[in-house]
Chains A and B, each alone.
Chain A
Amino acid sequence: MLKDITIGQYLSGDSFLHKLDPRTKIIAVILYMVSLFIVNNFWGLGAMLVLSLAVVLISRIPLRFFFRGIKAIVFIVLLTVALQMFMTPGEPLWELGILKITKEGIRQAVFMGTRLILLVSVTSILTLTTTPISLTDGIETLLKPFQKIGVPAHELAMMMTIALRFIPTLIEETDKIMKAQSARGADFESGNLMERAKAMIPLLVPLFLNAIKRADELALAMEARCYHGGDGRTRLKALQYGRRDAVAGVFCLCMAAGAFLTRLL
């Protein structure tokens, strides 16, 4: 059950999207998100939907991965849709006591629901087609210019890399400790909320202790290999823009410009 967690999952492949430079992809996702919120008529929203479908097809990733990702946010989407529908003031279409649905409400609900779903699918395309390592590399290089104003770009990227690296390890360990404690009669599955929370202590104490110990060892191992932060560090695989990045970049700029135009018209 714990092994089903798929945060930042990556699926290897050799599609156009897989080969793009991570920086291009990160900027593209940001532009897409901005455009998504700039667009304010149904034609524009429809275009964004078609665009994301095209991207999904180009990535050649099995559709069930997207559905799995969307399943996780179904509750949030429904909540947003319901809130928008009932809370937006305007011309009432249907009324029951204090509940009323307005024309503006329905419009808002459709917009917010679609935006949320598109947001999640496009960001999951980013993680599905980019290895965690190149993703953090990309973030690091993009943040470099902000180092002058005190953003610790390298440190942030390193922290992200390490965190991603240890997610599977921690899941495995949780599984192991859970088993060991249930062999001693611990019960994680029944009881009320308080009892269950209490039952977590035998799991969490060893888990945290081991994680802290592991962090210590990792720090030592990194220092032993002369790690001293980002200054003067070179890379085995330096990031390099190619022709396809130019294509993708121009395309994304057009998309953003188009989004702006829908506002003006």
Chain B
Amino acid sequence: MSLEMKHVFYTYQEGSPTESHALQDICLNINEGEFLGIVGHTGSGKSTLIQHLNGLLKPTKGEVLIDGININQKEAKAKRKEVRLKVGLVFQYPEYQLFEETVEQDIGFGPRNLGLSDTEVQERVKEAMALLKLDYKTLRKQSPFDLSGGQKRKVAIAGVLAMKPKYLVLDEPTAGLDPRGREEFLEQLAVLHRQGMTIIMVSHSMDDMAKYAQRMIVMDHGQIQLQGTPQDIFSQPEQLQQIGLDVPSLSRLLLRLKQRGLDVRTDLFDIEAVKTEILRAMAAREGKLTC
């Protein structure tokens, strides 16, 4: 089972003078259990793409298959709920969508819409809060508007997790979080991924991508320009720079060292591995010099 996009085109305001082609001939296959990263600068079509993954937008041309369900067909209307159930979508700044009186009610909004019983809803809320390390007992009766920014964000994401989606799509989930909140959140996301959830994340941070994504796509002008593992992608720094993107900071360091004549590998993204590699290369050079 997978998410599939076949030659998808999407045009905003078709036929009017302001029409813009947000997606052009997108072909993409997302397998179950994957951690896919999507990068690209503002206006490259990332957000449009992910809204196709749960049927919020329907392609102008082409097909989107969600576990085999074609969202473009008329009959799919009845299956819309099923699709929304499978794919959880977390928008940018999701904390702006909180509205209930208490944290518990807000997280329970999705499950209640699914028509679950009160006890089931409560179970789901507890589970979702536990996944994001939110304390159920102390927070459940609080107003979501009294929480800190980072906690609001977590509550909003818990609201999506409580629907128990098979695929979780996040649009820049760490934007505006402090460095520690960011790190914590991504770690929790990695845990969810290890537990078997498929994760699709849009991000501007190449460092995060290098660390967490298994596969990446790079978007520009509504098209997929590059596709592959982070190693593949970041070994083409010229192409990335042409699109206006950069490589992770560690890769930048290794590339500069190589330019200066130090013989290092440039396909490492883990800080420990990079440290060992630099030390090794320096030791090798020292060795050469002393000989």
Contacts and interface: CB of A to CB of B under 8 A. Distances in A.
Interface of A: 3, 176-177, 179-187, 201-202, 205-206, 209-210
Given A176-B91, A179-B56, A179-B91, A184 B159 contact: yes
B75 to A, nearest CB: 17
Nearest to A208: B99
Given A177-B96, A180-B97, A206-B97, A185 B110 contact: yes
Interface residues of B, number: 23
Interface stretch (B81-89, B131-139, B256-264): B81-89
B129 interface: no
B9 to A, nearest CB: 19
Nearest to A177: B97
A184 B110 contact: yes
B99 A180 contact: no
B195 interface: no
Interface in B46-68: 51, 54, 56
A251 B180 CA distance: 70
Contacts of B216: none
Contacts of A182: 56, 84
A68 to B, nearest CB: 13
A195 to B, nearest CB: 12
B99 A205 contact: yes
Contacts of B89: 180, 183
A241 B85 CA distance: 62
Nearest to B107: A184
B128 to A, nearest CB: 12
A184 B91 contact: no
A186 B114 CA distance: 9
Given A184-B109, A184-B113, A185-B163, A206 B96 contact: yes
A183 B88 contact: yes
A183 B54 contact: yes
A3 B13 contact: yes
Contacts of A179: 51, 56, 91
A187 B77 CA distance: 12
Contact of B97 (A3, A181, A201): A181
B98 interface: yes
Contacts of B84: 182-183, 185
B56 A206 contact: no
A180 B91 contact: yes
B247 interface: no
B113 A186 contact: yes
A183 B99 contact: no
Contacts of B96: 177, 206, 209-210
Interface string B16-56: 00000000000000000000000000000000000100101
B160 interface: yes
B94 interface: yes
Contact of A185 (B56, B81, B145): B81
Interface string B108-151: 01100110000000000000000000000000000001000000
B119 to A, nearest CB: 19
Contact of A180 (B13, B81, B85, B94): B94
Contacts of A181: 97, 109
13 contacts: A180-B91, A181-B109, A183-B89, A184-B109, A184-B163, A185-B113, A185-B163, A186-B113, A201-B99, A202-B97, A206-B97, A209-B96, A209-B145
B160 A184 contact: yes
Interface string B230-261: 00000000000000000000000000000000
Contact of A187 (B54, B94, B113): B113
Contacts of B91: 176, 179-180, 183
Contacts of A184: 109-110, 113, 159-160, 163
A158 B188 CA distance: 47
B97 A185 contact: no
Contact of A183 (B56, B98, B114, B145): B56
Given A184-B160, A210-B96, 13 more contacts: A177-B96, A180-B89, A182-B56, A183-B91, A183-B160, A184-B113, A185-B81, A185-B110, A185-B113, A202-B99, A206-B96, A209-B96, A209-B99
Contact of B98 (A176, A185, A186, A206): A206
